[in-house]
Amino acid sequence: GDSVTQMEGPVTLSEEAFLTINCTYTATGYPSLFWYVQYPGEGLQLLLKATKADDKGSNKGFEATYRKETTSFHLEKGSVQVSDSAVYFCALSDRNGGSYIPTFGRGTSLIVHP
Amino acid sequence: EPEVTQTPSHQVTQMGQEVILRCVPISNHLYFYWYRQILGQKVEFLVSFYNNEISEKSEIFDDQFSVERPDGSNFTLKIRSTKLEDSAMYFCASSPRDRGGETQYFGPGTRLLVL
């Protein structure tokens, strides 16, 4: 079945450092890929998505490129801020019968220090 | 910007009691979902709902669970007889009609604690 593997956290960085959170996937079809962010005490928010190979999703300085050849969708940001501290979930969504059922990774906690 | 809302934000209940978790999806969305996240673990799909019926459900969604859309706005998850292992954060999500509900918008969640 479909699966998503994320790097284990926590990832601890200083403000303005470069961020990479690795995500690889296994899927039988041609899924869409997503990154969700969960700030402390809140629900999941869609951060960015890509629906086909070589697409780049971007939002709030974050970006990720759908790499079919390496089955990856790594999240990057050039300069993190303290306010980026959150848990980041990589997910894929593939049609299962009539609807899309997303598969989530375990989440990677990001801690950014001033 | 429209949001998915959920009530209550927290609920504590005794084992064996029934709980109803409520969600108000975004008004023009057509697909509705429930997920749960046990503390420290991944988000798990429970059920999807479209056109007033369940379209998909996971193994977790057994006979103790049911969903309803009693009116045009609310979407509820009922757990008939709660167990300790039902303690989790429950998220509702909704989706417009883009490629069959591919992009989902999540509510803030209800934290359920079963004692």
Confidence label for B101 from pLDDT (cuts 50, 70 and 90):
low
Backbone angles phi and psi of B10, in degrees to 5: -135, 145
Number of H helices, E strands in chain A: 0, 12
Strand-pair partners of A56? A65
B25 in reach of chain A (CB within 8 A) = no
Determine the 3-state secondary structure of B84 from DSSP. Answer: helix
Confidence label for B100 from pLDDT (cuts 50, 70 and 90):
low
Q: What is each CA distance from B59 to A40, A85, B45, B62, B63, in whole angstroms?
A: 29, 33, 9, 7, 10
> Which of B55, B103, B107 is closest, CB to CB, to A49?
B103
For residue A62, pLDDT beyond 80: yes
For residue A80, pLDDT beyond 60: yes
Cβ contact A6:A104 at 8 Å: no
> Which of B31, B50, B109 is closest, CB to CB, to A43?
B109
Percentage of residues in chain B with pLDDT exceeding 90? 70
Backbone angles phi and psi of B60, in degrees to 5: -65, -35
